């Protein structure tokens, strides 16, 4: 469940925002004071912060700046004055969105959902940056195109790497040499299925402890090869 922090000194507004967000299934906390709000935002992990601008003690500008020094939590800034929005933009505080009071609570909920979805996509795509296939002692970073065997890096040619990665990405699937050739080599390539055999031999020399008893790429006699899971 997404956790949302509301920093708002007007209790009636804070309650209204709180009720609508809770009804939409969010876990909500409210701080009616700027300093407490800032402390919570920095110490706890919220998925989003709704931040009022005019607060006693420390204002929303300062809170936004301090959160941004430390965290990427999406921030929606809320103000009673339209002029403030221009000021927020002008200061480049790193707020993700701005709303002018009064706003409809359902509009707030819609924006909260949109920002959470956008943030999750960002986090998700960052997590996918390096795709790694790891099977027993063999580790293939398909993004960086690097291979390790029992922690030791091995160098592969482009086609060796492509062939190994293709097989390791489809474990236990038996491929004929024809299938592998058309998968890894484009049509204009000079070569034939013997090329596949040669490359398999080279890959085995790099990844197998004992090439006569392969642990990774198995020969299926009369058919082709498969990567053992």
Give the footprint of Ca ion on this chain (CB under 5 A). 9, 52, 54
Residue whose CB is less far from Ca ion, 9 or 179: 9
Nearer to Ca ion, 9 or 183 (CB): 9
Which residue number has the CB closest to Ca ion? 54
- Least distance (Å) from Ca ion to the CB of residue 116? 24
Strand partners, 79: 100
d(CA 198, CA 172) in angstroms, rounded, equals: 21
CB of 37 to Ca ion, least distance (A): 11
Candidates 69, 54, 74; CA nearest to 4 is 74
- Minimum CB separation of residue 9 from Ca ion in Å reads 5
Please classify residue 56 by burial: count the beta carbons closer than 10 Å to its beta carbon, then call 0-12 exposed, 13-18 middle and 19+ buried.
exposed
Asked if residues 216 and 208 have their Cβ atoms less than 8 Å apart, the reply is: yes
Residues 6+ away with beta carbon under 8 Å from 87: 61
Q: CB of residue 34 vs Ca ion: minimum separation in angstroms? A: 9
Nearer to Ca ion, 48 or 53 (CB): 53
Q: Using the minimum distance from each CB to Ca ion, give the nearer residue, 29 or 208.
A: 29
d(CA 168, CA 181): 16
Comparison of 100 and 215: residue with beta carbon closer to Ca ion: 100
CB of 79: closest distance to Ca ion in angstroms? 8
Q: What is the CA radius of gyration of the chain?
A: 28
Which strand ranges, in their side-by-side order, compose the sheet holding 217-220? 174-176, 224-227, 217-220
Q: How far is the CB of 59 from Ca ion (least distance, A)?
A: 9
Q: Is 48 exposed, middle or buried (0-12, 13-18, 19+ CB in 10 A)?
A: buried
Q: 13 or 21: whose CB is closer to Ca ion?
A: 13
> What single-letter DSSP state applies at residue 136?
T
């Amino acid at each position: 469940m997404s956790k949302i922090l509301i920093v708002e000194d007007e209790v009636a507004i804070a309650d209204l925002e709180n009720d609508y967000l809770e009804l939409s299934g969010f876990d909500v906390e409210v701080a009616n004071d700027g300093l407490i709000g800032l402390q919570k935002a920095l110490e706890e992990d919220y998925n989003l912060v709704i931040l009022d601008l005019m607060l006693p003690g420390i204002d929303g500008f300062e809170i936004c700046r301090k959160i941004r020094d430390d965290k990427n939590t999406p921030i929606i800034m809320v103000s009673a004055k339209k002029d403030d929005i221009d000021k927020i933009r002008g200061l480049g505080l790193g707020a993700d969105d701005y709303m002018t009071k009064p706003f409809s609570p359902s509009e707030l909920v819609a924006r909260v959902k949109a920002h959470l979805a956008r943030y999750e996509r960002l986090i998700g795509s960052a997590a996918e940056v390096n795709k790694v296939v790891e099977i027993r002692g063999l580790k293939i970073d398909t993004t960086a195109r690097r291979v390790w065997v029992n922690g030791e890096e091995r160098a592969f040619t482009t086609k060796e790497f492509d062939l190994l990665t293709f097989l390791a990405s489809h474990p236990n699937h038996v491929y004929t040499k024809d299938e592998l050739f058309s998968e890894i080599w484009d049509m204009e390539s000079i070569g034939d299925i013997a090329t596949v055999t040669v490359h398999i031999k080279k890959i085995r020399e790099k990844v197998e402890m004992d090439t006569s008893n392969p642990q990774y790429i198995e020969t299926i006699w009369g058919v082709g090869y498969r990567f053992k899971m």
